[in-house]
Structure 1
Amino acid sequence: MHPDVLKYNENQEPKYQEVCDLLAREIDRNLPEAENKIWHAHPVWFLDGNPTVGYSKEKPGIRLMFWSGADFEEARLNVVGKKFKDASVFFNDVSEVKKSDLRRWLKKAQEIQWNYKDIVKRKGRLERLK
């Protein structure tokens, strides 16, 4: 795991730090080929240079976001925007994180991907990769 991600997690208040640590461990374990780093001020994991999953501290809690999550067809993932295919869920306590759900979502994140890394080049148009 990237040292900046560890630092990000350490800078959260204790209850959120636990959530961040759990998410980071599970994402690393389930996406071992992913590169991870701080991107736009929060931890993000990339597959072949394409942002796939990340989390951030927001007012409602820790937001776990999947860039292509709108196509996962998962009831617990709130589809925020249809245009960019993202979906997310908020956690306020480590007990709210269901590892079985998280692992299923991470599997889908590998199987269902839209091309975000070329979105500027394509003038905002997304193309499906997988």
Structure 2
Amino acid sequence: MPHKDIQNYNAQQSETDQAICDVLATIIDTQLPEAESKLWHGHPVWFLEGNPIVGYSKQKKGLRLMFWSGADFEEPDLNILGGKFKDASIFYNAINDIDIEALKRWLETSKRIQWDYKNIVKRKGRLERLK
């Protein structure tokens, strides 16, 4: 069951986006049972040992699912936007856009490949690989 704040976030979305959010939150909670989830900078985010792993947010292009270390997952469906950080994301505009098997694979990979965002400020913006 997603965190209460996440449930409230999901409930504030349009009907289509709420359905997408609910599916994402349920699958993420199932695949990352050890993760702490909360609203962070106004959006649902899951953390492993204090490090942000995955989250989603409503944007103009649709609902963005972002993996903080996703650039190193070697997954063609995850779009790498920047170059400074290691994030990668995918946008959803309908519940049928969600490839559940791919999502589960990405979540498994997110446990194995992690960059240390928790200490990025302390390191003056420099990322180091945790796993």
Task: Give the TM-score category using the shorter length.
Answer: over 0.9
Q: Describe the SS at the equivalent of 2:81.
A: strand
Q: Name 1:115's counterpart in structure 2.
A: 116
Question: Runs of at least 4 residues of structure 1 off by over 3 A?
Answer: none
Aligned residues: 130
Offset at 1:86?
A: 0.3
Q: Name 2:39's counterpart in structure 1.
A: 38
Aligned residue runs from structure 1 range 34-73, under 5 A? 34-73=35-74
Once the two structures are superposed, what CA deviation does each residue of 1:30-83 show, in whole Å capped at 9, x if it has no partner? 000000000001000000000000000000110000000000000000001221
Is 1:75 matched with 2:79? no
Which ranges of structure 2 fall in alignment gaps of 5 or more residues? none
Q: Distance in 2 between matches of 1:102 and 1:93?
A: 15
Offset at 1:12?
A: 0.2
Q: What is the TM-score of this pair, normalised by structure 2?
A: 0.98
Q: Describe the SS at the equivalent of 1:81.
A: coil
Q: Distance in 2 between matches of 1:80 and 1:43?
A: 20
Q: Name 2:27's counterpart in structure 1.
A: 26
Q: Describe the SS at the equivalent of 1:78.
A: coil
Percent sequence identity is 62
More strand, by proportion = 1
Q: What is the TM-score of this pair, normalised by structure 1?
A: 0.99
Q: Describe the SS at the equivalent of 2:122.
A: coil
